[in-house]
């Protein structure tokens, strides 16, 4: 079979610097999926954009061939030498593309229907009514329950997954020969990701188009790809059929990537049972409601139940993980655990600094108590790029907490900073640098170092690895485990990624719509999940293993609204069944 797109010896560089894509070759056949895998900066995105010639203005195509052999073309088309005009007739028509951030990849000011039908308007001679008909058909195919409504909606009225479906509809409406998907699911929740990946697969089977999938996630690769190209620093490390590479990687870089990919282990580990539990933080009967401003000055206020009836504790020296998709209330829980947000009255959030000490209630702290608590509890944030002040040197950022609490002299503070930097695997000559001189992983280490400066006993980690590459994520998780055990820290760990949680947590609470739907130690939760939502989360997790593909049926069953769950778990969104213990330590929310 002739290849749809053939890229040979591609070289791309910026200005006079060394090439960032160097001697890259790959090809994709009709009906097949090629995955370009690599970490950020590996050149995978530039390589696939070269096929559409939508590179940043400063990037130059220095060499190589790109040939496209579409269904309508008699001979292969040389993309590199095509006129801009002819190139435009290929973009969005024969080759189309979907992007990473569905939130920002659609114009906020134009209706979805307008933006999608534009792809037809540009390349075909349909009249307005025909265009609308085709677009509505496509909307139906990508799984919009009400195509007419979506047609007249603005992007901000749709959720992330829905927007990505709209993007896919826009790419597919012109029936392209080749679809380039640049990290199409990275910004989505794991259950949504599973559904979007399933959709791309279905559409591919239906139309016979080729797909180039750019991703950093080997789990996604295992579920989608026929062929794999592994890239690192602009070069191809290894390429070949997906089963071969995933089962038996040869290049050391691929092996590292495989080893770093977090996965839910296949067999339960034994864990000794605790008799007497020593909680550092207990949240009992915690509810949080927000009042939304009414749409008109006369309208009634609406109330959002962000967190409902949360009841769990963080054991000393252990990690409690709270898992859920965006909007599940997990971050609100984290904020209340830090005293940054007050729960509704009637809740008790108790913090014990020492075993057996008199607990303080975070709901009503006086000034002195609050100050003391803030020394004990610290936070590690999600995005290491925006949580460090770009105008503060590392030294100043690290010493600031000590200054605020008036601890130590200037030189003692520096000594402490040096010591902590060593703990997190950085060295003291980095003290005078500014944050921009560090990579994402190093910044997250800095952010952890800053949290440790006050010698806390309790850390809240809000998705600390979700902005990082897999191999860096692995290192940061290792560091967190290491310092937890060394300093006897306790973590409240917020995440949407079950595989990350499987590794670090001693207890897991799964949240959905403000409610804990299932709670228990990871071995019980992962090997004997009871709740359909937990099952969906586990099923949706892409594994870098060809033998364990995503089961979309399970995902669809649990990922929907609570009213679509099986009978025993179903509720109307308001009157939830109680959380019951099914086996010791394992609680599930269901109707008895």
Contact residues for another protein, defined by CB under 8 A? 52, 54, 88-93, 96-97, 99-101, 104-110, 118-119, 122-123, 154, 156-157, 167, 170, 293-297, 302
Q: Length of the chain, please?
A: 592
Closest to 497 in 3D by CA, of 299, 263, 182: 263
Q: DSSP secondary-structure letter at 158?
A: S
Axis-axis angle for helices 394-404, 410-423 (nearest 10): 120
In the block, residue with structure tokens 């590479």: 245
Q: Please state the closest distance from residue 105 (CB atom) to another protein, in A.
A: 4
Q: Please state the closest distance from residue 137 (CB atom) to another protein, in A.
A: 19
Tell me the β-bridge partners of 379. 460
The secondary element (H helix, E strand) that includes residue 315 is strand 302-315
Rounded distance between C-alpha atoms, residue 336 and residue 389, angstroms: 25
Q: Please state the closest distance from residue 400 (CB atom) to another protein, in A.
A: 31
CA distances from 351 to 102, 330, 363, 373 (A): 40, 19, 10, 8
Rounded distance between C-alpha atoms, residue 454 and residue 416, angstroms: 9
Which CB atom, from 119 or from 398, has the smaller least distance to another protein? Answer: 119
Which CB atom, from 40 or from 361, has the smaller least distance to another protein? Answer: 40
Axis-axis angle for helices 190-207, 532-540 (nearest 10): 60
Which CB atom, from 98 or from 343, has the smaller least distance to another protein? Answer: 98
Rounded distance between C-alpha atoms, residue 468 and residue 454, angstroms: 25
Q: Please state the closest distance from residue 44 (CB atom) to another protein, in A.
A: 16
Q: Please state the closest distance from residue 450 (CB atom) to another protein, in A.
A: 30
Q: Please state the closest distance from residue 85 (CB atom) to another protein, in A.
A: 8
Which CB atom, from 52 or from 501, has the smaller least distance to another protein? Answer: 52
User: At a CB cut-off of 8 Å and minimum separation 6, what does 266 contact?
Assistant: none
Q: Please state the closest distance from residue 500 (CB atom) to another protein, in A.
A: 27
Q: Please state the closest distance from residue 174 (CB atom) to another protein, in A.
A: 9
Q: Please state the closest distance from residue 462 (CB atom) to another protein, in A.
A: 24
Which CB atom, from 272 or from 297, has the smaller least distance to another protein? Answer: 297
Q: Please state the closest distance from residue 479 (CB atom) to another protein, in A.
A: 32
Axis-axis angle for helices 440-452, 394-404 (nearest 10): 20
Which CB atom, from 297 or from 406, has the smaller least distance to another protein? Answer: 297
Copy the structure tokens of residue 176: 């392209």
Which CB atom, from 109 or from 561, has the smaller least distance to another protein? Answer: 109
Q: Please state the closest distance from residue 98 (CB atom) to another protein, in A.
A: 9
Q: Please state the closest distance from residue 93 (CB atom) to another protein, in A.
A: 6
Which CB atom, from 146 or from 488, has the smaller least distance to another protein? Answer: 146
Which CB atom, from 37 or from 179, has the smaller least distance to another protein? Answer: 179
Which CB atom, from 154 or from 527, has the smaller least distance to another protein? Answer: 154
Which CB atom, from 180 or from 498, has the smaller least distance to another protein? Answer: 180
Rounded distance between C-alpha atoms, residue 250 and residue 257, angstroms: 12
Residue 9: count of CB within 10 angstroms of its CB:
11
CA distances from 400 to 63, 120, 425, 510 (A): 50, 56, 20, 35
Rounded distance between C-alpha atoms, residue 281 and residue 467, angstroms: 27
Q: Please state the closest distance from residue 212 (CB atom) to another protein, in A.
A: 13
Which CB atom, from 89 or from 130, has the smaller least distance to another protein? Answer: 89
In the block, residue with structure tokens 């610097």: 17
Which CB atom, from 51 or from 321, has the smaller least distance to another protein? Answer: 51
Task: List, in sequence order, every beta strand (DSSP E) within 84-186.
Answer: 95-98, 178-182
Q: What is the CA radius of gyration of the chain?
A: 26
| 282 torsion bin: left (phi>0), alpha (psi -120 to 50), beta (else) | beta
Which CB atom, from 152 or from 581, has the smaller least distance to another protein? Answer: 152
CA distances from 98 to 85, 106, 137, 223, 443 (A): 21, 11, 19, 18, 30
Q: For every residue of 393-422, which 3-state class applies, written as one string?
A: CHHHHHHHHHHHCCCCCHHHHHHHHHHHHH
User: At a CB cut-off of 8 Å and minimum separation 6, what does 146 contact?
Assistant: none
Backbone φ and ψ of 458, nearest 5°: -135, 125
Rounded distance between C-alpha atoms, residue 389 and residue 398, angstroms: 11
Q: Please state the closest distance from residue 159 (CB atom) to another protein, in A.
A: 8
Q: What share of the chain is helix, strand, coil (3-state, %, to 5)?
A: 35, 25, 40
Task: List, in sequence order, every beta strand (DSSP E) within 39-99.
Answer: 59-68, 77-78, 95-98
In the block, residue with structure tokens 């669809």: 556
């Amino acid at each position: 079979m002739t290849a749809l797109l053939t890229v040979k010896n591609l070289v791309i560089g910026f200005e006079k610097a060394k090439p960032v894509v160097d001697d890259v070759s790959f090809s994709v056949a009709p009906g097949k999926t090629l995955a370009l895998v690599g970490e950020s900066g590996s050149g995978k995105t530039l390589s696939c954009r070269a096929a559409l010639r939508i590179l940043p203005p400063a990037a130059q195509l220095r060499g190589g061939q790109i040939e496209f052999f579409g269904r309508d073309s008699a001979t292969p088309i040389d993309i590199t030498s095509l006129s801009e005009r002819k190139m435009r007739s290929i973009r969005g028509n024969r080759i189309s593309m979907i992007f990473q951030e569905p939130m920002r990849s659609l114009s906020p000011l134009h209706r979805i229907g307008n933006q999608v039908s534009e792809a037809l308007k540009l390349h075909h001679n349909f009249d307005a009514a025909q265009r609308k008909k085709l677009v509505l058909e496509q909307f139906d195919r990508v799984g919009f329950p009400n195509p007419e409504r979506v047609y007249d909606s603005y992007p901000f009225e749709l959720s992330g997954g829905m927007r990505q479906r709209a993007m896919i509809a826009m790419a597919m409406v012109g029936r392209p020969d080749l679809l380039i998907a640049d990290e199409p699911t990275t910004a989505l929740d794991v259950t949504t990701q599973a559904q979007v990946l399933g959709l791309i697969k279905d559409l591919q089977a239906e139309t016979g188009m080729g797909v180039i999938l750019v991703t950093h996630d080997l789990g996604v690769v295992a579920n989608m790809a026929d062929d794999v190209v592994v890239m690192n620093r602009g070069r191809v490390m290894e390429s070949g059929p997906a089963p071969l590479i995933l089962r038996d990687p040869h290049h050391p870089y691929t092996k590292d990537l495989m080893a770093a990919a977090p996965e839910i282990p296949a067999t339960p580990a034994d864990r000794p049972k605790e008799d007497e539990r020593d909680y550092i933080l207990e949240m009992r009967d915690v509810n949080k409601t927000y009042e939304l401003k009414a749409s008109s000055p006369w309208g009634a206020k609406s109330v959002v139940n962000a967190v409902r009836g949360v009841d769990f504790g963080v054991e000393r020296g252990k990690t409690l993980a709270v898992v859920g998709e965006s909007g599940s209330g997990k971050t609100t829980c984290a904020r209340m655990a830090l005293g940054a947000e007050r729960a509704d009255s009637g809740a008790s959030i108790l913090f014990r600094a020492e075993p057996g000490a008199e607990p303080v209630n975070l709901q009503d702290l006086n000034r002195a108590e609050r100050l003391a608590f803030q020394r004990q509890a610290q936070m590690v944030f999600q995005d290491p790029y925006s949580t460090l002040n770009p105008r503060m040197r590392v030294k100043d950022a690290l010493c600031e907490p000590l200054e605020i609490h008036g601890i130590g002299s200037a030189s003692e503070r520096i000594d402490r900073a040096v010591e902590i930097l060593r703990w997190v695997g950085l060295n003291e000559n980095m003290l005078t640098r500014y944050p921009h001189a560090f990579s994402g992983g190093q910044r997250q280490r800095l952010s952890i170092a800053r949290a440790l400066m006050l010698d806390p006993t309790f850390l809240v980690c809000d998705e600390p690895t979700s902005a990082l590459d897999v191999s860096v994520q692995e290192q940061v998780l290792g560091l967190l485990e290491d310092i937890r055990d060394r300093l006897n820290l306790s973590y409240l760990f917020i995440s949407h990624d079950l595989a990350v949680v499987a590794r670090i947590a001693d207890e897991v609470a799964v949240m959905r719509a403000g409610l804990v739907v299932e709670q228990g130690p990871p071995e019980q939760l992962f090997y004997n999940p009871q709740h359909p939502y937990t099952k969906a989360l586990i099923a949706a997790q892409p594994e870098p293993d060809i033998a364990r593909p995503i089961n979309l049926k399970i995902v669809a069953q649990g990922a929907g609204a609570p009213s679509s769950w099986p009978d025993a778990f179903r509720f109307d969104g308001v009157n939830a069944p109680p959380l019951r213990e099914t086996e010791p330590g394992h609680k599930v929310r269901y109707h008895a």
